[in-house]
Amino acid sequence: MAKEITSRSEDYSQWYLDIVNKAGLACNSKVRGCPVIKPYGFAIWEAIKADLDRRFKETGHVNAYFPLLIPKSFLSREAAHVEGFAKECAVVTHHRLMNDPKADGVIVDPDAKLEEELIIRPTSETIIWDTYRDWIQSYRDLPLLINQWANVLRWEMRTRPFLRTAEFLWQEGHTAHATRDEAEEEARMILDLYANFVEEVMAIPLYKGEKTEQERFAGAEITYTIEALMQDGKALQSGTSHFLGQNFAKAFDVKFLNENNREELVWATSWGVSTRLMGALIMMHSDDEGLVLPPKLAPTQVVIVPVPKANDEINLAVKNIMTALKSKNISVKYDTDKKKRPGFKFAQYEMEGVPVRIAIGKRDLANGVAEVARRDTKEKKAIPLNGIADYISELLEEIQNNLFNRAKKFRDESTHKVDTWDDFVKVIEKGGFAYAHWDGTTETELKIKELTKATTRCIPLEPLPQFGMEGEGKCILTGKNSKQRILFARAY
Amino acid sequence: MAKEITSRSEDYSQWYLDIVNKAGLACNSKVRGCPVIKPYGFAIWEAIKADLDRRFKETGHVNAYFPLLIPKSFLSREAAHVEGFAKECAVVTHHRLMNDPKADGVIVDPDAKLEEELIIRPTSETIIWDTYRDWIQSYRDLPLLINQWANVLRWEMRTRPFLRTAEFLWQEGHTAHATRDEAEEEARMILDLYANFVEEVMAIPLYKGEKTEQERFAGAEITYTIEALMQDGKALQSGTSHFLGQNFAKAFDVKFLNENNREELVWATSWGVSTRLMGALIMMHSDDEGLVLPPKLAPTQVVIVPVPKANDEINLAVKNIMTALKSKNISVKYDTDKKKRPGFKFAQYEMEGVPVRIAIGKRDLANGVAEVARRDTKEKKAIPLNGIADYISELLEEIQNNLFNRAKKFRDESTHKVDTWDDFVKVIEKGGFAYAHWDGTTETELKIKELTKATTRCIPLEPLPQFGMEGEGKCILTGKNSKQRILFARAY
């Protein structure tokens, strides 16, 4: 199997597509930019969802569901928002088909034209704030801490499975608050929640920061972001949390009576992560043999393969191992398929990124051991059957940590403090983050993008620890004054 | 609060809408027929989802995700299918908006017309079978046992929250098999899975049966259904499971090589339940004070209210009760809100259908008891604090059983074996199931519908036990020969 995938050094982009395909994560459909998420890919997404959903609920959020379709006019209510989304909307104009009078098949029934066109939600701020107007009268109704898991659609021209698709799955939180402080705090709390999840569970190290005005969400006053670095040196925005100020409250006239019986506009946040995280997961850890999954997200954490095939003695030993693993909440699969040889199975589970493989043959049994192979380093060891579950439990933790540390080492080594334009260009060309001074203008930002294809990724919330505290400086391009360094990179 | 809802006897339909509204289950949006599912309603749906999803997985199914949008031409591939769905499709014709050159706001960009229109999925057989063609080559690839949780859209003209909405949430299983027998068995297994879930968890008694040709799913060879009876004597189809034969395999050219290396068409099933179950749940058990929830689906199973308000002594006693309840996996909420009086809280939790309420005051504590009220019968009892968690654990089971038995008694008493047209009309007018002979023709079925508004609900899989075994007979309308009795009722 492995020979069927392109190596990273040969063609990183094709390598990614090969893994998506061969590991059974997604495949194309006949609808442009709308791939099918296959069962194995979806099982990973379900694990992501379950963990995040628990974190949202632990922080007081509840789920709800708002309509897929949004009246076209809603989009125009918030000026920046319409600017950001109108150009990539799928528009519903009719509500019926009819038999084609001239040929086989069906055509759009011209009599079934909608009075007002509906758009498929690219994000739900507008329909949600139109609803919140009815839900919020008094400070007693606040805060509203609501999340929804949903599909959204943005008509992207160039798409890539998981990373950029027309339809994608996500969660979008939409909260309403009585004060600016509370809303700002919510937006930052969610940023930390996202960062903790991505680092602890997905084993992806992040820089947390604020987006520049140019890169902000359409309608936000502050956009916080978590930024990861993929193996090819390109950054990937992995989640965003927005402080929306009173923009949507103004646009949809959402007011409340405060404790002093005075009318005020409501403060808002919104925040989301999507199936894009799947793309980050794949690109962060995988190798030329296939997918590599952090144990905390692997649908199957351990696979057991009999060598060359199962027999009663092996079955009995495996049964004991499985019982011991399951009692530790470790998911395990025993592959007794007789139609496939061990070598084929090994390659298949490597392709699928199963973190630990146990192989057991007659001779192993005679020696009271099994061969344990870890996916991340491909090390193999003979481990005594006695106590093997404890060993594997620790090994899974070690793999989780190793993946994170490996990625962090790469990220840190690929983050460069630069003070000259030449160095800046070199870093960007090579791939990685350039940590540089910038004069704070959109003009300079766009010029840098034009010259190097690098964009501002974020203004870090704290100075990067590896470089220590630093003060003001001079813009890398214009030489003008700069208050602090920010992170640049080419990005997905 | 309770006085704000219409009584069932006054206006059953308005009573339903009042409960949906006052219990915080759903509300209207600006998009016709697309309500918002509010957090409390969604929490109940999440409980339904979690239980069903576990049952699907235990029976070998996996989840995946297929595109929301379907090329218009896909719909025409299966003749019956297009007939059933083309007239209620939302059609996407454009992929971009633009600023209106003549006024504020945005208009559809005429240059962004799609080459082929896309429809929002009313159900996903077509796009899924178009995908299965690539996934299935050999008998080794079968069976495919795939489910998806998704939103779908059917442009219904008359809508009612949960019962009939344009957009709704559901699960749709789509399985592919090498043999007719295996596919038929799958369709029946799922019917039983649905029936067990609805009876055991939702406490709704059912008749299981097969739909007549007229009432079958568009594209199915057999449609199995579970039918419930609401308090107003109308039936509600609560879930369906279809044996699709080779219809979709033919339409999308999905073939496999069997063990003898011969090419064959694949056999199919599809099956679904939706947020319509929420409508059944509300209508089945609730009363003039509000929602009544079976304990197995209640987001909060027990609420504790201090009377008239909390103090240290009460808090301590409540803490002990809560610890004991939580250790039994019972969800419990302690309402210490000082702004609301106990009577107001009692009415609110009755409206929300919380199965058990515990009220504790000073005098109760002195006597070592608390007042326990059950929502289903509204009985109240002083229960010793010592052992109260055991009592409540049993009480929750008793409530679950009582709701089912109450509903079953009503359903059985409202199911009438009828042998004359007069009796048939009487039963239908009064509300309930008429168990009657029918000559098996669509013509008679439609005539009966025209005369009485009653439809065939199902051909029971087994003779109804309360009436014993029975043989052939004469059609209730035409007097022609009939092989077995079937169930008629007016329906939602």
Q: What is the DSSP letter of A470?
A: -
Q: Are residues A7 and A134 in the same domain?
A: yes
Q: Two tokens at A154?
A: 């943005």
Query: Which of B29, B67, B87 is opposite residue A67, by nearest beta carbon?
Result: B29
Q: Which amino acid is at A287?
A: D
Q: Which residues contact B413 (CB under 8 A, 6 or more apart)?
A: none
Query: Could you tell me if B27 lies within 8 Å of chain A, comparing CB atoms?
Result: yes
Structure token pair of residue B215 = 């009432």
Indicate if A320 and A356 belong to the same structural domain.
yes
Q: What is the mean pLDDT of residues A5-19?
A: 97
Task: In whole angstroms, give the CA distance from residue A114 to residue A72.
Answer: 11
Q: For B203-211, what is the mean pLDDT?
A: 97
Which token pair is B103? Answer: 């006024």
> Do B138 and B38 belong together in one domain?
yes
pLDDT value at residue A180: 98
pLDDT tens track for A425-444: 999 999 999 999 999 999 99
Q: pLDDT band for position A3 (50/70/90)?
A: low
Mean pLDDT of A441-466: 95
Position B373 in a domain: yes
Residues of B with CB below 8 A from A88's CB? 95-96
Domain shared by A315 and A435, yes or no: no
Whether A63 sits inside 8 A of B42 (CB atoms) is yes
Instruction: Share the mean pLDDT of chain A.
Output: 96
Evaluate if residue A404 carries a pLDDT over 50. Answer: yes
For A163-301, strand residue ranges (E) read 167-177, 207-210, 222-229, 235-245, 255-257, 263-265, 267-274
Residue B104 has pLDDT above 90, yes or no: no
At a CB cut-off of 8 Å and minimum separation 6, what does B208 contact? Answer: B191, B192, B195, B224, B225, B226, B227, B458, B460, B461
Residue A4: predicted pLDDT: 82
> SS3 for B348?
helix
Please name the residues between 94 and 123 in chain A that touch chain B, using a CB distance below 8 Å. Answer: 94-99, 104-106, 108, 117-120
Residue B30 to residue A74, Cβ atoms within 8 A: yes
For residues B328 and B266, state if they share a domain.
no
What pLDDT, in 10s, does the model give residues A231-264? 999 999 999 999 999 999 999 999 999 999 999 9
Kindly state whether residue B154 falls inside one of the protein's structural domains: yes
Distance CA B369, CA B304 (A): 13
User: Could you tell me if residue B295 is inside a domain?
Assistant: no
Length of chain A: 492
Same domain, B51 and B98: yes
DSSP A300: S
- Residue A155 DSSP SS3: coil
Task: List, for residues B280-320, the tens digit of each pLDDT value.
Answer: 999 999 999 999 999 999 999 999 999 999 999 999 999 99
Of A26, A29, A23, nearest in space to A4 by CA: A23
Select from B35, B36, B63 the Cβ nearest to the Cβ of A39.
B63
A137 touches chain B (CB under 8 A): no
Determine which of A31, A145, A167, A175 to mutate to test the interface with B (most B C-beta atoms within 10 Å). Answer: A31
| Domains contained in chain A, number | 3
pLDDT in tens, B463-476: 898 898 788 999 99
The confidence score (pLDDT) of residue B237 equals 97
Q: Are A78 and A97 in contact (CB under 8 A)?
A: no
Residues of chain A neighbouring B48 (CB-CB closer than 8 A) = none
Q: Flag if A119 and B104 touch (Cβ within 8 Å).
A: no
Q: Which candidate, A256, A275, A278, A276, places its Cα nearest to that of A265? A: A256
Q: Which helix (H) or strand (E) element contains residue A70?
A: strand A69-71
Q: How confident is the model at residue B261 (pLDDT cuts 50, 70, 90)?
A: very high
With CA atoms as reference, report the closest residue to A450 among A486, A490, A481, A485: A490
* pLDDT tens for each residue of B20-38: 999 999 999 999 999 999 9
Shared domain for B93 and B238, answered yes or no, is: yes
What one-character-per-residue DSSP string does B359-418 give? EEEHHHHHTTEEEEEETTT--EEEEESTTHHHHHHHHHHHHHHHHHHHHHHHHHHTEEE-
So what's the pLDDT on residue B3? 60
A133 and A222 share a domain? yes
Residues 6+ apart with CB under 8 A from B236: B163, B227, B228, B229, B230, B276, B279, B280, B283, B491, B492
* Distance in angstroms (rounded) separating the CA atoms of residues B297 and B285: 12
DSSP track, B224-276:
EEEEEE-TTS-EEEEEEEEEEETHHHHHHT-EEE-TTS-EEEPEEEEEEEETH
Tens of pLDDT, residue by residue over A272-325, are 999 999 999 999 999 999 999 999 999 999 999 999 999 999 999 999 999 999
Pull the structure tokens for residue B338: 């000082």
Q: Write the residue in A30, A72, A120 that is nearest to B106 by C-beta.
A: A72
Q: Which residues contact A249 (CB under 8 A, 6 or more apart)?
A: A129, A176, A255, A265, A266, A267, A268
pLDDT of amino acid B78: 83
List the alpha helices (DSSP H) in A328-353: 342-352
pLDDT reported for residue B469 = 77
| CATH for B312 | 3.40.50.800
CA angle at B220 for the pair B215 and B225, rounded to the nearest 5°: 50
Which helix (H) or strand (E) segment is B342 a member of?
helix B342-352
CATH of the domain at B428: 3.30.110.30
The C-alpha of B86 sits at a distance from chain A's nearest C-alpha, in angstroms, of: 5
Report how far residue A269's alpha carbon sits from residue A222's, in angstroms, rounded to the nearest whole number. 9
Identity of the residue numbered A252 = F
Strand order in the sheet with A455-460: A62-63, A144-153, A167-177, A267-274, A235-245, A222-229, A207-210, A455-460, A485-489, A433-437, A415-417
Interface check A60 vs B, CB under 8 A: no
What's the whole-number average pLDDT of chain B? 96
Answer with the one of A231, A252, A285 that is the final residue of a domain: A285
Residue B237 lies in a domain: yes
CB B27 within 8 A of CB B165: no
The residue among B307, B295, B278, B377 whose CA lies nearest residue B332 is: B295
Q: Which conformational region is residue A95 in: left (phi greater than 0), alpha (psi within -120 to 50 degrees), or beta?
A: alpha
Contact of B377 with B363, CB cutoff 8 Å: no
**CB of B129 less than 8 A from some CB of A:** no
The arithmetic mean of pLDDT across residues B260-274, rounded, is 98
Assess whether A174 and A77 both reside in one domain.
Answer: yes
> What is the rounded CA–CA span in Å between residue B224 and residue B215?
10
Residue A2 has pLDDT above 50, yes or no: no
**SS3 label, residue A172:** strand
**Residue A83 CB neighbours (<10 A):** 15
Domain that holds residue B132: 2-285
My answer on whether B139 and B176 are in the same domain is yes
Mean pLDDT, range B203-225, rounded to an integer: 96
pLDDT at B2: 47
pLDDT tens profile B70-103: 999 998 888 788 888 989 999 999 999 999 889 8
Residues A266 and A352 occupy one common structural domain:
no
Whole-angstrom distance, CA of residue A379 vs CA of residue A372: 8
Distance, in Å, from the CA atom of B333 to the CA atom of B341, rounded to the nearest integer, reads 16
Domain boundary among A285, A316, A338: A285
CA A266, CA A142: separation in Å to the nearest integer? 9
- The interface predicted TM-score (ipTM) is 0.96
Instruction: Report the residue of A68, A111, A157 to disrupt the B interface, i.e. the one with the largest count of B CBs within 10 Å.
Output: A68
- The residue type of B109 is D
Distance CA A197, CA A47 (A): 12
- Model confidence at A76, in pLDDT bands (50, 70, 90)? confident
In a domain, B409, yes or no: no
Element housing A285 (H / E): helix A276-285
What average pLDDT does the segment A363-374 reach? 96
pLDDT digits (tens, 9 = 90+) for B378-412: 999 999 999 999 999 999 999 999 999 999 999 99
Assess if residue A410 is contained within a domain.
Answer: no
In which band, very low, low, confident or very high, does the pLDDT at B1 lie, cut at 50, 70 and 90? very low
Whether B206 maps to a domain, the answer reads yes
pLDDT given for residue A282 in this prediction: 97
Take residue A44 and report the two structure tokens written for it: 């990973």
Q: Which residues of B touch A127 (CB under 8 A)?
A: 29-31
Which residues in chain A touch residue B95, judged by CB atoms under 8 angstroms apart? Answer: 88-91, 155
- The answer to whether residue B161 sits within a structural domain is yes
Claim to verify: residue A391 and residue A252 sit in the same structural domain: no
**Chain B contact for A47, CB < 8 A?**
no
Average the pLDDT over B234-242 and give the result: 98
